[in-house]
Structure 1
Amino acid sequence: MSDTQQTFKAVIFDFGGVLTNPMDDTAIAFAAEIGLPTYAYRDTVAFDPAGRALYAQLERGDISQTQWNEGIASILGIDSDNLMGRALATLVPEKLVVNAALAIREAGLKTAILSNSMGLEPFNPYTPWDLEANHDVIVFSEHHRIRKPEPAIYQLTLDKLQLPGSACIFVDDNPSNLIPAQELGMATVHATTAEETVSGLQKLLGIPLG
């Protein structure tokens, strides 16, 4: 590490689109599977006001995943049974970033997950990642009734890590979610491609990650 590099003690990762393949890819694959126009599902959950409101309620824990399934299905005119599970059927670990997170921990730093929740039941999208075994702190928005980009959920994560923002790096694929982290003193990495995410972390940490 160079003399000018800051010593970080933890890296906080978003989940979807960071530790996973792009969420847009899963949305497009799901639409194709059920015969919807290419961007119909993505646009419903990401841009349609009613769909966005349902997702925000799910993330806060104000509604269950089953209720979200029913609400989104009603908008799209499709079957609601296990909708979240079906929509995320092609969600897989982004191995470069997952392996980088393991290398960061092996180097003696803490790692944390800060995720706006997609619900945990009846379908748990986080199971294949074994997050509890591989990270020091897990924060799902539904457990705390707050969500990104609300500053309180970032501070909660720092409190659980027992670290100040200046000792942490935050990684997210949504640029608007980086702003509160920066305001709390964290360095940030905008997750675009897996390669660029790992490269950004390597530059900040000064250690090889792959």
Structure 2
Amino acid sequence: MSSYRGLILDFGGVLTTPMRLNGAAFERSMGLEPGAYFHALNENPTGVAIYAALEVGEATQDDWNRVIGGILNIDPTDLMRRALANLRPEPRIVAAAQRARAAGIKTALLSNSFGLHPYNPYEDLGMYEGFFDAIVLSEREGVRKPSSLIYQRALDALGLTGPECVFVDDHEHNLPPAEALGIRTIHHTTDPIGTAAQLDSMLLERATV
């Protein structure tokens, strides 16, 4: 029987199709140079700062729309919605989470937030209230991954300890702080079949409680 009682899942790139594919499709749709969107988010100092502020609730999604739109020289109107327009649920991971929950495993969504207004990507992709036992979003917590505080809050929300839980994220640097709390981690790359198989193997031996 498995000792795990909880499953904590990242959103973008784990429960969804890869963020890089979504971003590349957005660049093409806007006529941007390849890599321009990712440069704005990850390398432009102003873009990096506004995204960090959005994630912890110190900036609004409208602020992000305005700043990133300005960097890219495109219309900022409802930009987050347009930027995530090609993101889809990853069916294999979603199904694995549903199997785990049906088997009595508590499940949590743990995400560095994209903002919730005016566009709520979690709700839009059907993974919000009712889908998880707990939802932990960085903008609500005022702290983001990889801070150990947000992992502890996910554990507290589930009422479980670190060694009782498995955490899946597509960014390797987000894993060590979870591991320091005793959480078993899975680095999800581009193989949803393999990740889903790992989750089934680790979680589905446990009898429903």
Is 2:174 aligned against 1:187?
A: no
1:85 & 1:201 partners in 2: Cα distance? 30
Q: Deviations over 1:141-177 (max 9, x none)?
A: 0011100001101001111111110000000000011
Find the counterpart in structure 2 of residue 170 from structure 1. 167
**Per the alignment, in what secondary structure is the counterpart of residue 20 of structure 2?**
helix
Structure 2 CA distance for aligned equivalents of residues 206 and 91 of structure 1 = 28
Deviation at 1:76, TM superposition (A): 1.1
1:39 is matched with 35
Unpaired runs of at least 5, structure 2: none
Instruction: Please tell me the residue identity of whatever aligns with 1:170.
Output: F
Alignment TM-score, normalising by the size of structure 1: 0.93
Name the residue aligned to 2:155: 158
Choose the corresponding residue for 1:145, options 138, 142, 145.
142
Q: Residue 201 of structure 1 aligns to which amino acid in structure 2? A: L
| Cα RMSD (Å) | 1.3
**Which residue of 190, 196, 199 maps to 2:197?**
199
Secondary structure class of the residue paired with 2:121:
coil
Cα distance in 2 between the residues matched to 1:51 and 1:107: 42
SS of the aligned residue for 1:198 comes to: helix
Listed one character per residue, the Cα deviations across residues 41-90 of structure 1 (whole Å, up to 9, x for unaligned) are 02211232221111110000000000000011111111100110000001
Secondary structure of the equivalent of 2:108?
A: strand
Question: What is the distance in 2 between the residues matched to 1:121 and 1:207?
Answer: 40
Count how many residue pairs are aligned between Structure 1 and Structure 2. Answer: 204
Alignment pair present for 1:129 and 2:126: yes
Residue in structure 1 matched with residue 12 of structure 2 by the alignment? 16
Q: Among 37, 45, 48, which residue is 1:49 paired with?
A: 45
Deviations along 1:84-136, one digit per CA (max 9) or x if unpaired, are 00000011100000011000000111000000000001111111223221110
Contact kept in structure 1, 2:8 and 2:166, CA below 8 Å: yes
Tell me how far apart the structure 1 counterparts of residues 115 and 204 of structure 2 sit (CA, whole Å): 36
Paired AA for residue 168 in structure 1? C
**Conserved? CA contact 2:178–2:185, under 8 Å:** yes
Name the SS for the 1:133 alignment partner.
Answer: coil
> Is the counterpart of residue 98 in structure 1 residue 94 in structure 2?
yes
Normalized against structure 2, the TM-score is what? 0.94
How far apart in 1 are the matches of 2:75 and 2:101?
42
How many Å separate the matches in 1 of 2:122 and 2:193? Answer: 22
1:77 lines up with 2:69 in the alignment: no
The C-alpha deviation readout for 1:2-55, integer Å capped at 9, x for no partner, is xxxx51000000000000000011110000001001111022112322211111
- Determine if the alignment matches structure 1 residue 26 to structure 2 residue 25: no
